[in-house]
Amino acid sequence: MVGFWADKKVVVTGGAGFLGSFVVEKLKARGCANIFVPRSKDYDLVDMGAVRRLYADTTPDIVIHLAAVVGGIGANKANPGKFYYDNLMMGTQMIEVGRQVGLGKFVAIGTICAYPKLTPVPFKEKDLWNGYPEETNAPYGLAKKMLLVQSQAYRAQYGFNSIYLLPVNLYGPGDNFDVESSHVIPALIRKCIEAKESGAGSITVWGTGRPTREFLYVEDAAEGILLAAEKYNKPEPVNLGSSCEISIDNLVELIAAKTCFKGEIIWDSAKPDGQPRRLLDTSKAELEFGFKAATGLREGLDATIAWFKEEGR
């Protein structure tokens, strides 16, 4: 599908971020010569005026909307109002102005946090509305979920081609390694490496270790997004994942081994676990646009740890 991008003008919101940088590189590799990455200092997408100016300045054919205010359980608990409002307004306004100016295609990126807390495993797209999300990240999850509602409503009323993708938790080189706001993999990598270097005898990890998670390597996620942009034009949401489930305690053991940290793991069970299990049914992505994750968790962790040691500090 290299020719698909040759004459396209593409706006990638969040294109300077973790996932966005991989999407931009893959777009370039596919022959896309006209890519615009708005920066928040120039275009505050929470402000409607800035969104209108972005569309006027760039006249895109496709928008890939990756920009988000996001973090781990702690950041979600500390900022529920901001996470709700900023994510809702950015996405809603980007879709609305895109509709007004006749945008060719909008690619909306949702979140695994949109699923109900007790979704049957593996999560199927049809189960998305069968309950309320896990409480600690519900405001963020619901704000992103509204982009699916808007995408489907605009397709039905206006014929607006907006698709909605649901990636599972991402990780990889370039991730956010701030212990206060990062997700579980980068936080654990940093804790283990710094504890080993300082000679600390233990690290403390939130929760009980019993919940399970599925992780998708960032480069695979970028590939899935671009395959969907090229080939998928339907209203139904689509999961993007690796179809590999691991418990948090096993993940901690794996990262400790890979970083050569041999100290004690202390579980702070007073802290929340989050959703009990996460594992996606990814068959629709493979059926609809040929996406299947290529990077195993061990391989992806090796690359992520190596990046953090070389460039992450």
Q: Which helix (H) or strand (E) holds 109?
A: strand 105-109
Architecture of the 2-172+215-243+278-293 domain: 3-Layer(aba) Sandwich (3.40)
Q: What is the pLDDT of residues 132-153, one digit of tens each?
A: 998 988 999 999 999 999 999 9
- Whether the model pTM is above 0.85: yes
* Cis ω for the linkage preceding 167 (within 30 of 0): no
Point out the catalytic residue in the list 43, 84, 140, 154.
Answer: 140
Residue 140 annotated as catalytic: yes
Backbone angles phi, psi at 116, to 5 degrees: -60, 155
Q: What is the pLDDT of residues 178-236, one digit of tens each?
A: 877 788 999 999 999 999 999 999 999 989 999 999 999 999 999 999 999 999 999 99
Q: What is the mean pLDDT of residues 27-40?
A: 97
Question: Which ranges constitute the DSSP H helices of the chain?
Answer: 2-5, 18-29, 48-58, 73-78, 80-101, 138-158, 184-198, 218-231, 248-258, 283-289, 297-311
Q: Residue ranges per domain, the chain?
A: 2-172+215-243+278-293
How many residues appear in the chain? 313
